[in-house]
Amino acid sequence: MSFREKMPTSPKSPLRRRRLSWSGSWLNHQTTSFKQVVSAVIEAQSPRSRSKSLSCDFDFPDVDRTLSLPDSLLLKILGKLPEPQNGDCSLVCKRWLNLQGRRVRTMKVFDWDFLLSGKLVSRFPKLTSVDLSNACVNPPRKSGVLLCHKSISFHISSDSTDWDFVERNLLHSEMVDRGLRVLGRGGCDLLKLV
């Protein structure tokens, strides 16, 4: 007689039963909905919810406890964070984005349209130093050559043979004037403009 013949084939056999996982006990009942499972888990984890009944409308009052902190204190806290985490903090909410923008003092602008749109001065109201040198150059389309000299670098076309490519790729003076007007109206505390 082989071993295979001795093994019971009944689905209710203890050898055929699987151990239920923690989610299996919740989700194996056909009458249990997902909302009921979530509300039961929340009720089990929250000591406050034991005293009051939990409805299916998930109210999470007082989730953001930083709203009670004044901006000055939150700026001090954000100032204590290490440099690599500064960018991540601005992703938390719009308030933290605005606070992070108030901490930025120097800016190097690469896109002139960003300046013209007024977003630079509204997003970073406390700027003291702005570098517009790279934004004043219109790079040619699909250029693979990068020209670097001291603090300025820009793309040039590979068929340029003389130095007049700089004049051809600079923004027009009217465009530069419009950008400077937007920057001047922004109320920044500018000390240095390049």
Task: Return the structure tokens found at 192.
Answer: 């240095």
Mean pLDDT of the chain: 70
User: In the chain, pLDDT over 70 holds for what percent of residues?
Assistant: 54
Residue 156 in contact with residue 145, Cβ under 8 Å? Answer: yes
Q: Is the pLDDT of residue 85 over 70?
A: yes
Task: Read off the pTM.
Answer: 0.52
Q: Is the pLDDT of residue 180 over 70?
A: yes
Three-class DSSP category at 25: helix
pLDDT at 54: 45
- Residue 52: Cβ-neighbour burial (10 angstroms; 0-12, 13-18, 19+): exposed
Mean pLDDT of 142-146: 69
The pLDDT-based confidence of 114 (bands split at 50, 70, 90) is confident
Check residue 172 and report its DSSP letter: P
For the ranges 95-99, 127-131, 134-138, the maximum mean pLDDT occurs at 127-131
pLDDT at 72: 83
Mean pLDDT of 12-23: 56
Residue 86 CB coordination number (10 Å) = 14
> Could you tell me where in the chain the CATH 1.20.1280 domains are found?
64-103
Which residue has better confidence, 153 or 32?
153
Which residue has better confidence, 139 or 50?
139
Q: Which of 113, 124, 118, 116 is nearest to 190 (CA)?
A: 124
- Residue count of the chain, please give it: 194
- At the top level of CATH, the class of 64-103 is mainly alpha
Q: Is the pLDDT of residue 112 over 80?
A: yes
